[in-house]
Structure 1
Amino acid sequence: MLKSPLFEDANIEVFMKRDDLNHPEIQGNKWHKLKFNLEQAKLQNKTTLLTFGGAYSNHIAATAAAAKLYGFSSMGFIRGDELQNTPSKWSHTLKTAHLNGMQLHFLSRTDYRLKSQLNFQHQLQQSYPDAWIIPEGGSNDLAIAGLQTLATEIDQQCPNWTHLITAVGTGATLSGLVRHLKMNSAQTVLGVATLGSGDFLKTDICRWIQNDNDWVAEKNPKNWAFLNLENPIRYGKITPEIELTQQQFRAEFDIVLDPIYTAKMVLGFYEALSKNRFPPNSKIILLHTGGLQGLQTLTSDPF
């Protein structure tokens, strides 16, 4: 439980689920999203993990680390072909992935947009038959299934929560939580989008959540929503507001936040608190999704 006069004045209780402590090398939601993908890759006798991401992608770093740890080769298709011949401009994320053995292939933004198309996926699988292909952000049905463990932990550790707040990249973590948590009508999962307002993710989120014939009957469709920042921050951009949020949170609670995801999530929480979005007696869980390798990210516009 996080103790603060601000929370006492608002008559709320605030907790942080420290999922950044769940795995020594593949921390946070990335471990949940990758674990069943790793199992399936082994079962299919694949030798390489192949995936996609931007220059600041925690998923790229996590996949490279997982591949090294579990005996796979790894390949990352990275958005931004201007980086191909300029390794000196690579982000810490890319450098770390490369040091962990990941082969980096840089795509133009036009080609990168094709990553989810069936023809592109088919050609990629033909070119790399020994590769297990994981979508951007590690977000697929196996990832959604992997989040059941996290949902169960939350249900057991703090069953009477009213609001659960998480950062949102691709939407898979939010989807997996909504799908697996034992929620009632008084509980809401709130997502702070790290890229724009998050509206473009709603189709994928609804598909992942409703990949269960009983979902509509059992769950309130209003039990999740986006909690948008007052001034949306471009993905990978570290602003003075983000830096201040990191500094103040660490000073008050001795907890380190990454600048790409968790600091944005916490900033969104404080903005909502300042607007009295949380009724008295609310029990709020802030989900720390890890990504602390992002602390080394360069302060610049995203590639």
Structure 2
Amino acid sequence: MSLFDAIYRSDIQNVYRDKSQCISIDIKREDQIHPVVSGNKFRKLKYNIQQALSENHQVVLTYGGAYSNHIAATAAAAKMCGLQSIGIIRGQEIEDKLKANPRHNPTLAFAKEQGMYLNFISRASYKKKQTTDEIKKLQQKFGSFYHIPEGGTNALAVRGCQEILSDNDKKYDIIACCVGTGGTLAGIINSTHKHQKVYGFSALKGHNHDEIKQWTKKGNWQIIQDNNFGGYAKSSPRLINFINSFYRCTSIKLDPIYTGKMFYQLFKMVEQHQFKNNTKILAIHTGGLQAIKGFNQKQSDKNKPCLEF
């Protein structure tokens, strides 16, 4: 049985109930699926890895930054499914740091342990990574490979993310999810019912709605960009305190890039009475917990507050 054939847990737990407004927030624990290939990364990679195998590819190639959840998950999934993997990493300067200290970056160290070949390129080249010329250069260097975009979002990824919601989730009025490249949100939107609305909590400073519109024809969604704490991978002591408090109250770990920011803003919206009475909210835990070790390491180096787990 392969990684993607097994049946995995994805429990639903209540994390907030406002008796005066009769508003409840439940969390769908997609982070429970697998220790590394968890949450939306499992969903995005499922049909891509299956497609790579069906086309008899031996290698998958993808892209990411220094602490990319996608890079770590792809490396692990490829190894478990008998594939080789190549990661095109943004920033040549990172390679020098890794050579000086192999444990400098826990995410890339893990990917390497899973057998992923790391190819570091300049940030200028990385911006052009999806152009035909750049892909041809990679084919000349590495030969044949199955290509997975940065963040894993493509049609097969959206198909996988359409499986996050089940018939048991019909009772919810609002589905909340983090947004990066938009594939996860699009998949969730596609599987919602008429009475449901989807709120996408952006991890980015500015979000291109067209990235989502290309994968869905539905209009029952909205991007929330408040409290992203300055943009992607940015944080503050206020956010760290919230995530630590959330963990102490629920025993559920959140990450500071995606899920922590989503829950922070979701709770603020309830406090500000932005939801109707009797609203049932389901928030999707998209995983991403592997990055916490690297985050805490950077915070500690700067003498800043860390997560307590």
2:270 aligns to what? 273
Shift of 1:97: 1.0
Unaligned runs of 5+ in 1: 211-218
2:78 aligns to what? 67
1:175 aligns to what? 186
2:202 aligns to what? 193
Q: Which residue type is aligned with residue 48 of structure 1?
A: V
Distance in structure 2 (CA, Å) of the matches to 1:91 and 1:279: 44
Distance in structure 1 (CA, Å) of the matches to 2:237 and 2:171: 35
Shift of 1:30: 0.4
Shift of 1:231: 5.2
Distance in structure 1 (CA, Å) of the matches to 2:177 and 2:15: 20
* 1:9-48 alignment runs, 5 A limit: 9-48=20-59
User: Does structure 2 conserve the Cα–Cα contact (< 8 Å) formed by 1:56 and 1:236?
Assistant: no
Distance in structure 1 (CA, Å) of the matches to 2:108 and 2:279: 40
Shift of 1:277: 1.3
Q: What whole-Å deviation, never above 9, does each CA across 1:275-301 have from its counterpart, x for those lacking one?
A: 211111100011001111122123559
Larger relative contact order (Cα-Cα within 8 Å, sequence gap ≥ 6): 1
Shift of 1:48: 1.2
Of stretches 118-127 and 136-145 in structure 1, the one that deviates more from structure 2 is 118-127
Unaligned runs of 5+ in 2: 1-12, 300-309
Aligned length: 283
Where 2:181 maps in the other structure, the secondary structure is coil
Distance in structure 1 (CA, Å) of the matches to 2:15 and 2:189: 27
The structure 1 residue matched to 2:248, chosen from 244, 247, 251, is 251
The structure 2 residue matched to 1:284, chosen from 254, 275, 281, is 281
User: Does structure 2 conserve the Cα–Cα contact (< 8 Å) formed by 1:83 and 1:90?
Assistant: no
1:96 aligns to what? 110
Distance in structure 2 (CA, Å) of the matches to 1:271 and 1:238: 17
Change (3 A) 1:3 1:205: closer
User: Does structure 2 conserve the Cα–Cα contact (< 8 Å) formed by 1:91 and 1:298?
Assistant: no
1:216 aligns to what? none
Query: What is the Cα-based RMSD across aligned positions, in Å?
Result: 1.9
Q: Percent identity?
A: 37
Distance in structure 1 (CA, Å) of the matches to 2:21 and 2:248: 21
Change (3 A) 1:123 1:36: same
Q: What whole-Å deviation, never above 9, does each CA across 1:67-101 have from its counterpart, x for those lacking one?
A: 11111111111111111211137432112111211
Q: What whole-Å deviation, never above 9, does each CA across 1:80-125 have from its counterpart, x for those lacking one?
A: 1111211137432112111211111111111000112222223323
Q: Does 1:135 align with 2:149?
A: yes
User: Does structure 2 conserve the Cα–Cα contact (< 8 Å) formed by 1:167 and 1:193?
Assistant: yes
Distance in structure 2 (CA, Å) of the matches to 1:69 and 1:174: 27
Change (3 A) 1:44 1:127: farther
Q: What whole-Å deviation, never above 9, does each CA across 1:149-180 have from its counterpart, x for those lacking one?
A: 213x2xx2221211111111111100111122
User: Does structure 1 conserve the Cα–Cα contact (< 8 Å) formed by 2:228 and 2:261?
Assistant: no
User: Does structure 2 conserve the Cα–Cα contact (< 8 Å) formed by 1:163 and 1:190?
Assistant: yes
Change (3 A) 1:3 1:61: closer
Shift of 1:37: 0.7
Distance in structure 2 (CA, Å) of the matches to 1:170 and 1:129: 27
Change (3 A) 1:230 1:264: closer
Distance in structure 1 (CA, Å) of the matches to 2:253 and 2:63: 27
Distance in structure 2 (CA, Å) of the matches to 1:50 and 1:231: 30
